[in-house]
A and B are shown apart, each in its own frame.
Chain A
Amino acid sequence: MSKSLLIVDDSATMRKIIMRSVRMSGLQFDSTEEAGNGVEALEKLKASPVDIILCDVNMPEMNGTELVKKVREMDSCRDTKIVMVSTESSQEFIDNLLAEGANDYITKPFTPDKFREKLSPFV
């Protein structure tokens, strides 16, 4: 079954690192898009919804928490899984993101195995 992935991070380098880790995890996606912030991500999602979003938290323009809220308001993305990726690791912070509608959370630093563990249930 074909799956699509959107990587949202304001650092182009981190997007490449995430992409590399996903590839190394052995998971395969038919299409992979990138966005530099929440606003750009929303535009891409309106044009074409994806199956999985990997999303940074601290970003300019629109941060990850706001993006999660907006995506959860979109009918076209009701089945989209959102996995947050951030250095922030307090349980309270993670619980808040999950309450807003994120499906899971990966803490930086990460390994390819972590992507396999967190994304496999959605692929």
Chain B
Amino acid sequence: MTIFDWRNELNRDGHRVVISGQPIAMHCHHYNINLQKTMEETLGTEGVELLYRSAEETNYHSLQHLFNHYNKIRTLKSKLEMASLLYQNCGLGIIHFRKVRPNLAYIASTSSHHVTGWLAKHGRRDTPGCHFTRGWIAGALEVIYQRPLGYYIVEELRCKMKRDEECVFHVKER
């Protein structure tokens, strides 16, 4: 089933680029990874938290807007499918919602923009590094389960930046 016509959603509004009317910017892995490294090296855990929160808030509002727009998408399955499709079509990678409950979830990513970018620029790291994706997942599930921002906490159990086979995320209530 095609949930929404992706090619028609990505458009231009004058000089701005929009997805379903919301302004976006195209950035490459050099910038995204430079920003991550700057945050981590300068602010440490506070920088990691800033990356997470920024992605969480942004995705929360973006998906809220999309679900309001596509109000026929009501079931959990179709909402998760739309979220995965959005992640993939934004060039962020592949995300699999493996087990999702209102109070607990396991999610895997077999490919991601941030992993590809980090490995290309800096090679393997010793700690999990998908802070953007953790925040993105938190925001997505908060919208889908109609919970407030910050309701979930997402941890990364395995990470391809560490050369694990896939990235695995565990979601629980804060």
Bind each other: no
